[in-house]
Structure 1
Amino acid sequence: MVVVGAGITGLTTAALLARAGKRVVVLEARYVGAGATGNTTGKVSLLQGTKLSRIAAKHGDDVLRAYATGNKEGQDWLLRYCDEHGLDVQHQDAFSYAQSPDGVSTAEDELAAGRAAGLDVSWCADADVPFPYCGGVRLADQAQIDPVPLLQSLAAELESHGGSIICGARVHSVSGRGPVRVDVRVSTDDARRPRKVRIAAQRCILATGIPILDRGGFFARVKPERSYCLAFDVPGDVTRPMFLSVDSPTRSLRYAPSAGGDKLVVGGAGHTVGRADSPSRSIEELTRWTRLHYPGAVQTHFWSAQDYTPVDELPYVGPILPGSESIYVATGFDKWGMTNGIAAALALTSRILGGRMDWSAAFASWRTGELAGVPTALQANLEVGFNLAKGWVSPWLSRSELSDDGGAVSGPPWRMHADSVVDGVAHTTSPVCPHLGGVVRWNDADQAWECPLHGSRFAPDGELLEGPATRGLTPSAEKMSG
């Protein structure tokens, strides 16, 4: 069997299949943990912002309870695994809270949904925190982890059972119906000449954040979202429970133990991929907020992550097409992969090995309840169409100035080019995303090109960072403007 993607879903699925005696190879385009898992805040919580109330509004209590049950099984499995393998876990309460009086009703909706889901949630009118808090939902004894040691442990277990991981192996097509043919470009010393390999397997599991195959149209059923995290050294006490605001702007907090003392991790500044004018300005605002409420805070780390919000709020886990049992997908975790990713692995391995998990119907890749997401899907795809047109017209009508350590797209539609300068090094590529022809935009925080259609991202020189595109931007012969 072939698993594509070495994040929490891919490695857990591969390790479970290898335990069962299956021959498994994991193909990873970059390195273990390069995607969402390696950049998550690591919250292992069943209280997930406004997630439960959003599911309840579209699907009702039965589906809500099934979703919560799947997440609980994922959480239980992960915490058992960490205990058995000596991995650090911090057990803390989780809060979904209102920052202002306007957000209180949203938090109350989450309280009602949590109770309907069977969770032992309670209302806390006050909390001992230095930032604005107007009431919120509390769920005791949740957990947080560092995801990197977890991935390393899963990789080691997979290999101990005879499985293998190949990094620098980018899958660009999968064909056939069992055996399937997986076409891979494997990195070599000459980056311009990857080695092409074809692997035959009975089944292929796409655990790539968003499926890299267009079959099933999953790229149109999820919205790519980027968010940012900052770590701070804070004088005095660090807030220890996990907090996530239910109103805007998003504020996510947890603490992280380190050799030099506990750090405060603050997340937020999220946006749809490729559609923010200046992510760095939003990050500056997040930094000011932290220093206002934690005087003397000193930033030590910065990172970002990408995840995918499903149109009907539920993950998609299962066959890429109805009736197919040769290619599977797992996507739409909506920033809650620590529990959803494990649940997806349990559902996939159960299906492949002949087991049964009743709650997995709420995670199905094809389900009748998805009709609830049709209005959201229509709106999302209207936005895609608008951004497609805008990307082709805007560079022609207005000249974008290229700044130091920046990027800009310029030129008429028949001769557009994407120029960037990072650390004094200039690059010029085509700005046209090879997935469906969107025109990329510059992310000034990550210093990367982003497609505003379906979230493909590229390095300044055009190298592909993440899909659904399966190749990078085409090098351009255009000279740097200005």
Structure 2
Amino acid sequence: MRSLWLDTAPPIPSDALQEKSAFDSVVVGAGLTGLTTALLLARAGHRVAVLEARTTGAVTTGNTTAKLSLLQGTSMSTILQHHDAELARAYVTGNREGQSWLLRFCDEHGIAYETRDAVDYATTDTGARRLVAEHEACTTAGLATELGNAATLPFPVRKTLRLKDQAQFHPLEVLAGLAAEFRRHGGVLVEGVRVRGVVKSDSPDVELATSAGPVTASNVVLATGIPILDRGGYFAVLQPMRSYCVALTVEDDVPEDMYLSTDSPTRSLRTALVDGTNYLIVGGNGHKVGHSSNTRAKVDDLTRWAQEYFPTARRAYAWSAQDYTPAASVPYVGKVPAGGGHIYAATGYNKWGMTNAVAASLALAGEILGGNMPWADTLYRTKVSPADALQTAQANAVVGMELVTGWLSGLAKSGTSTPGEGEGRVIREGARPIGICTVDGVQHRVFAVCPHLKGILSWNDAERSWDCPLHGSRFTADGTLLEGPSTSDLATTRR
């Protein structure tokens, strides 16, 4: 599957990495967080390189719905369940700063976006009560939301929560603009180079081990969704979540506002005009990574739902994205614990990365450059805590028990039959779990254990990938690393 955004992306050139390169700052990951942080540092005179293992925007940013909204489902209610009103207001301030900065950048560089109202909607009484609670939470945090019961949707709703004058855009057009401005300030953007770890050194600088050789920097920013270095312990306080999107051509009247359901299963709607074609984008059906045995059905269900209410809808694109839900309900941003003071990270945007990414970038650049942002000091004071780690570990323990129980009870036995096209499964050969799949007529065999913390992988038939149910690492059919805390590919095996 490939997203509408990635398929229609403007060209973003890649630079060459010189041997034994040294920089003031290296940013790992060329998504919205990475490129915004890199640009801010480059504007301040830093020699900056962005290292991207795949291509610019290939992971979360290129697979988002790209809603630049301060109304974020029922996030504010959840934040206030974990934190005080001061932190909630800081969250809103930071996201508003991020939204304003990005819209101002788009205005200055001729990048198109559309102003839209953001609307949460409920179709049940339970959902309506959640919206009332979210409205109260938003009011406490300083958001001027409006309760109502009218929506331009082709089905009845019980209640709506509206925030006016939010925005939507094409995320790869934004990344292309950021990359061009970053280069104009002397920045280096290198695709196809994977950072594998940090080399221990007596030097105050950080030496990164990469697939292209060593790279040295005074500061390193991990903008990789989930940080690739375990020293911060972030993987222990994040739940990796997978969700799905379809872009459909529609001749029916479609709602112009950006909609999000508060009831389950989640339904997200927005429009997009790309290369002269109008699309309706429908998202939802999220689940923990590696916890669904039939992901393809989740994509088909979104299409079916769209066609039920928009009969002329025809699916043109389908894709999925990965997000990380933080145990603390707010992002973890700042210096990495045990990172020696030179390594920074931003993670845990909880599916609201467009505003949170830029807010994190402003805070990270400010911290590196010696600036002062009171809202950031309040918002990002939440660090990885033992209590959060315990909560996440308890959730993951269920996964681990399911894996062990299934394995020992013989649910994954040796077999000789070849999986059908697009299918995959894990079998047992002696004491080894082996993943076997068939993609484009080619059979692949991999050692089906995640290199990160040894979770047994599951097959994702929608993305045709091997996914780890513990911390969200993902691999192609032939074992090549796609994303997650792992930094190495899967071992292949022969029969």
TM > 0.5 = yes
RMSD: 1.9
Instruction: Give the alignment's TM-score, normalised by structure 1.
Output: 0.93
Q: Distance in 1 between matches of 2:101 and 2:268?
A: 25
> 1:293-372, aligned counterparts within 5 Å?
293-321=309-337, 324-364=340-380, 366-367=382-383
Q: Name which of 70, 81, 94 aligns with 1:70.
A: 94
Asked whether 1:245 is paired with 2:271, we answer no
Q: Name which of 389, 401, 404 aligns with 1:386.
A: 401
Judging changes above 3 Å, is the alpha-carbon distance between structure 1 residues 121 and 471 closer, same or farther for their aligned structure 2 residues? same
Asked whether 1:179 is paired with 2:194, we answer no
Deviation at 1:78, TM superposition (A): 0.5
Letter in 2 for 1:129: L
> 1:104-119, aligned counterparts within 5 Å?
104-119=128-143
| Contact 1:95 1:136 (C-alpha < 8 Å) held by counterparts | yes
Deviation at 1:397, TM superposition (A): 4.8
Aligned-partner SS, 2:274:
coil
Q: Distance in 1 between matches of 2:389 and 2:313?
A: 44
Equivalent residue number for residue 192 of structure 1: none
Deviation at 1:322, TM superposition (A): 6.2
Equivalent residue number for residue 27 of structure 2: 3
Q: Distance in 1 between matches of 2:386 and 2:378?
A: 14
Asked whether 1:228 is paired with 2:244, we answer yes
Q: Distance in 2 between matches of 1:403 and 1:35?
A: 27
Judging changes above 3 Å, is the alpha-carbon distance between structure 1 residues 183 and 371 closer, same or farther for their aligned structure 2 residues? closer
Gaps of 5+ in 1: 187-196
Q: Distance in 1 between matches of 2:409 and 2:257?
A: 45
Q: Distance in 2 between matches of 1:364 and 1:165?
A: 28
Q: Distance in 2 between matches of 1:417 and 1:381?
A: 22
Q: Name which of 71, 74, 77 aligns with 1:53.
A: 77
Instruction: Give the alignment's TM-score, normalised by structure 2.
Output: 0.91
Q: Name which of 129, 133, 145 aligns with 2:157.
A: 133
| Contact 2:328 2:382 (C-alpha < 8 Å) held by counterparts | no
Aligned-partner SS, 2:443:
strand
Judging changes above 3 Å, is the alpha-carbon distance between structure 1 residues 438 and 365 closer, same or farther for their aligned structure 2 residues? farther
Aligned-partner SS, 2:300:
helix
| Contact 1:393 1:413 (C-alpha < 8 Å) held by counterparts | no
> 1:123-162, aligned counterparts within 5 Å?
123-162=147-186
Letter in 2 for 1:340: N
Aligned-partner SS, 1:225:
strand
Equivalent residue number for residue 19 of structure 2: none
Asked whether 1:468 is paired with 2:485, we answer yes
Residues paired across the two proteins, number: 467
Letter in 1 for 2:207: R
Q: Distance in 2 between matches of 1:226 and 1:13?
A: 25
Letter in 1 for 2:253: D
Q: Distance in 2 between matches of 1:14 and 1:356?
A: 18
- Range with bigger deviation, 52-61 or 40-49: 52-61
Equivalent residue number for residue 222 of structure 2: 206
Deviation at 1:15, TM superposition (A): 0.6
Q: Identity, % of aligned pairs? A: 48
Q: Distance in 2 between matches of 1:331 and 1:231?
A: 27
Equivalent residue number for residue 430 of structure 1: 447
Aligned-partner SS, 1:280:
helix
Deviation at 1:378, TM superposition (A): 4.3
Equivalent residue number for residue 95 of structure 1: 119
Q: Distance in 1 between matches of 2:268 and 2:57?
A: 21
| Contact 1:344 1:363 (C-alpha < 8 Å) held by counterparts | no
Equivalent residue number for residue 410 of structure 1: 427
Q: Distance in 2 between matches of 1:221 and 1:112?
A: 28
Aligned-partner SS, 2:232:
coil
| Contact 1:387 1:452 (C-alpha < 8 Å) held by counterparts | no
Aligned-partner SS, 1:257:
strand
Q: Distance in 2 between matches of 1:323 and 1:439?
A: 29
